[in-house]
Amino acid sequence: MHDLLRAGFSRLWRAPVFWLGVIFMALCGGMVCCTVWDGTQGGIVYFMGDLCRYHCIVTVFLPAVFCALFLGTEYEHGVIRNKLIAGKTRPAVYLSSLVLSLAACFLMIAAYFLPIVCVGPLLTQGLGMTGGMLALVVIGELLMAAALCGLCTLGSMLISRKAILAVTLLLAVLAGLAVGGHLTGRLAEQEFFQGIMMTEEGELVDASDMENPGFLRGREREIYQFVADFLPTGQALLYNFDMIVHPVAMCLYSLLILAASTAGGLAAFRRKDLK
């Protein structure tokens, strides 16, 4: 596996998709800093915790794009079959691909944090949370990306057609964001209406004391919260909109998804017919 990783990283450093991802995420970090600068001129107060979560929605696309364009080419060019012919085991081939995916995505995320770390302290008024909580949030964001890498690596090692792989991964991410958006939207409902609202008769009434029928309660809210915490795309939206309720559980769910997708991918890849 050492040889596979050495060859893989050698190829990674020359891959345009990797460097485009690094540049794109660095630009995202720079744009966030510029936006925060404009906001501070208008009297808006920002915290470092805010800047560290604005990348999450973009981050969910990184594993899909990278795996489709980087790992997806190995089937088309016969690289995987050549590795096996050279005596490499299937688990070693699979795990080396997963490590490359994880490393690439973590480095892209690090590119986002580079301008944040350099400029963010000058634009913000402290962390906005305890240092331990901020560290837990950042670790959770990385684990969320790792879970997505595990799922996308599974897809890239089982789908041999690059075009089908790319479409499948991107549609899966979009579907996940749609589901996560519905879940977080329902969870964000206020228990009571705010301010003034218009009745069906066109009258304006004070709605401050009126209960919102769309507010989730009891068991139903617990189910919505669990699914949002469990799905990586749901986690991305919860992090992005600062709706974190169970940060430790979210980290554990990401680790569970990574472990399950890796175990399932290894089992399926062992049986895959590589023509």
Render pLDDT for 27-54 as a digit per residue (tens, 0 to 9): 999 999 988 888 887 778 888 888 888 8
pTM of the model: 0.90
What's the mean pLDDT in 117-132?
86
pLDDT at 167: 94
Instruction: State the pLDDT confidence band at 198, using cuts at 50, 70 and 90.
Output: low
With a cut of 70, say whether residue 99 has pLDDT above it.
yes
The average pLDDT across 113-141 equals 90
Tens-digit pLDDT profile for residues 57-73: 999 999 999 999 998 88
**Residue by residue, what is the 3-state secondary structure of the chain?**
CHHHHHHHHHHHCCCHHHHHHHHHHHHHHHHHHHHHHHHHHCCCCCCHHHHCCCCHHHHCHHHHHHHHHHHCHHHHCCHHHHHHHCCCCHHHHHHHHHHHHHHHHHHHHHHHHHHHHHHHHHHCCCCCCCHHHHHHHHHHHHHHHHHHHHHHHHHHHHCCCHHHHHHHHHHHHHHHHHHHHHHHHHHCCCCECCCEEECCCCCEEECCCCECCCCCCHHHHHHHHHHHHHCHHHHHHHHHCCCCCCHHHHHHHHHHHHHHHHHHHHHHHHHCCCC
> What would the pLDDT profile of 132-184 be if each residue is shown by its tens digit?
899 999 999 999 999 999 999 999 999 888 889 999 999 999 999 999 999 99
